[in-house]
Structure formats: C-alpha cells, structure tokens
Structure 1
C-alpha cells in the first residue's frame, strides 16, 4: 500500500463530525474531498478518529475512559512500568481500573509481559536534591503527595519508600505538610 499523507487535524475533526452525525464513511470522505487512503494512517495516531471509524461517538465519557485505558495499555506495551505509565497518563486511575475489571487487569499484565521481551535496563529517576526540592516545594504549596510526586517526575511509591528509610526526608515531608495546612 503506497504511503499517503495523513489527514490534518482539521480534516480529521470534520470527518469525525460527519461520522457522528450518521454519515457513511465513503460518502463523508467524498463530500469532504478527502483521500480514503489518508484516513487509515491518520486513525493510527488519532484515537478519536479510530473510535468514530468503529461506529462510536468519541466525545462521550465512556469513550474518553476507553481511550485513557487504551493509552495506559500502550504505555505498558512500550515498556513503562505501571507506576511510570500512571505518571505519563496523568488522568484516570489505572490502579482502580485494574482492580475493578479483571479482564483489563489481565490485558495490563499481558502488555507488560510482552514488553519484557524487549526490555533493556530502564532508567530510573533518582531522588536527587533537585528532585527532592521540587517535590517538597509542591507539597508545601498544598498539593497531594501524588501530585507533588508527579510534579517532580517520581512515583508516589518511591516517595513513601524513601520516607520509610530516611528520617530526615520524613521530617521534611511533615514540615512541608504543616506549612501547607497554615
């Protein structure tokens, strides 16, 4: 199949609107003056278009949730550990999703397992003094531990792991929280 130039965002949005209003794909492509060969590569990188091509409305809460879940699976399949994938996703609650839906939990495990075959030594983000300061500053500003960790580019479990083994860090966290409460 020859390579086509993907649709522009505006063209994809117009096609989605036509599909949402019940227009047949072939008719919509013709009416909008688009190249059908450009629709398919666009759908690969335009999740809303993919949902519309599947015959569903991409702008419903259900489909937005489905897209977030698909993004999380993609991140796992690319080799990110679940805690880092949650930071990258920055929406929804993947831990809750896995707990509520056994089939989704199995899909997450399968995506992670598939990525393991291609694994290399992953870079772990260390809690350097600069990262620690960013975390504590965000915590002092009144954010949650989870939000402060995300602002510093680390995971919530990493924060609590460090808190357990470093009494000075634990004291700094407590002081930051106390300042935020004032």
Structure 2
C-alpha cells in the first residue's frame, strides 16, 4: 500500500475504506470525461473507488452519480473489465431495461441501447435470466403507472405479438409495448387477423416454455 492509500484508508476507517455519504454535500457539476477515464484507469489498477475519487479530487458521491450514467465506470467500480465484450453486452441490456422501465417500447429502447429488436427477441427466447428481468421490468412499468397508449397501431400490434411469441403473457406484452391491455382486447375482438396471429404467437410461446 502506498503512503497515499494508507492515509486514505485511515481517514475512512469505519466506512470500509470508502468515504462516508454526507447529505450536506451539494452535488458538484458533472466532471469531464477525461477525469472519468482517469477514474476507470485507477480503479482497474487496483485502487478502491474511494481512493480513486481522492486521487482525482472528485467527491465520492459524484463518482457514484456518474456511474449511474456511465456504465463503463460502473463496471470498473464493480470489479469487472470495463472494456470486455461481455461487459458491453451487460451495459446494453441494462440500458434497454432502464429505458423500458421509463415507459419506452421495446423497439425504441433497443435502439437507444444500440441493439436490434431481433437480438432482443433472441435474448428473450434463449436467456432465462434476461427473460425474467425483462418481464419484471414490464410488470414494474405497469405497476407504477407508466402511461399506456389506447391506440393499437400496426407497430404496437407487432410488438405485442413479438413479446407473446417469446413467452410473455398478454399483460406483460402490453406493458412492454406501451399499450393498454384493454385496447389490445378490443382489437382482438374486432380484428380476426390480429386474433389469429396472437393465437399463433401464444402457441409459439408455450412451445418455447416447454423446451426451456
């Protein structure tokens, strides 16, 4: 341990080597990306996030707030390789789920995360852990009152069908597509073709569940 690290460890004794949170500290202005890169470099070199914050002169609270927006920094703080291929996939999935939790439909959320909707469908079909998180986000969006559209446009209809095909319930599919379940029910009653495709999607979802 260097003299600097030893000093910092002593300063933060009783806080696990990390600076304590202080509500009285006002958040600083966002710091430059160059400083974020330096933080990542220090953390990857073996420094704790608290020590890296002191080395760069950034309040620890601001480092953590930045990590919420900079998932590369978050990966480093978590002890992962911030530039690894697997971490990039994790960041993309996290961005997708956050956008969906805020009420975006899956297609737009996928684009925001730099993903294709086809790839998201593949993950939903083949990755049980992602599928579980994906469904829970849909439930959360519905539970917390994300405003749902009452218009089942062609785009939203395709989204609902796609979600059901990967094993989602109709309620989960509606939440993920950003459309009210009542609107989908009404469309099913008056649109025979949509109803037929939904039945086929439900059967595909059941087959997928049996094969999981």
- TM-score of the alignment, normalized to the shorter chain, above 0.5: yes
Gaps of 5+ in 2: 1-22, 160-192, 195-212
Q: CA RMSD in A?
A: 2.8
Normalised by the length of structure 2, the TM-score is: 0.54
Question: In 2, distance between residues paired with 1:115 and 1:155?
Answer: 16
CA pair 124-23 structure 1, distance change in 2 beyond 3 A: farther
Q: Distance in 2 between matches of 1:42 and 1:123?
A: 37
Matched, 1:96 2:122: yes
1:63 to 87, 95, 108: 87
Matches within 5 A, 1:38-77: 38-77=62-101
Could you tell which deviates more after superposition, 56-65 or 21-30? Answer: 21-30
Equivalent residues in 2 for 1:93-172 (5 A)? 93-117=119-143, 118-122=145-149, 157=158
Q: CA deviation at 1:89?
A: 2.8
Query: Which of structure 1's runs of 4+ aligned residues deviate more than 6 A?
Result: 123-127
Change over 3 Å in CA distance of 1:80–1:87 after alignment to 2: same
Deviations along 1:92-145, one digit per CA (max 9) or x if unpaired, are 521111112112101101101110131324387978xxxxxxxxxxxxxxxxxx
Which whole-Å CA distance do the structure 2 matches of 1:86 and 1:57 have between them? 23
Aligned length: 134
Aligned 8 A contact 2:75 2:82 in 1: yes
Gaps of 5+ in 1: 128-153, 159-163, 166-182
Counterpart of 2:27?
4
The verdict on how the C-alpha distance between 1:102 and 1:14 changes in structure 2, with shifts beyond 3 A counting, is: same
- The Cα of 1:32 is off from its aligned counterpart by 2.2
Q: Return the alpha-carbon distance in structure 1 between the equivalents of residues 34 and 156 of structure 2.
A: 36
Q: CA deviation at 1:64?
A: 0.3
CA contact (8 A) 2:101 2:140 kept: yes
Give the alignment of 1:19-38 within 5 angstroms: 19-38=43-62
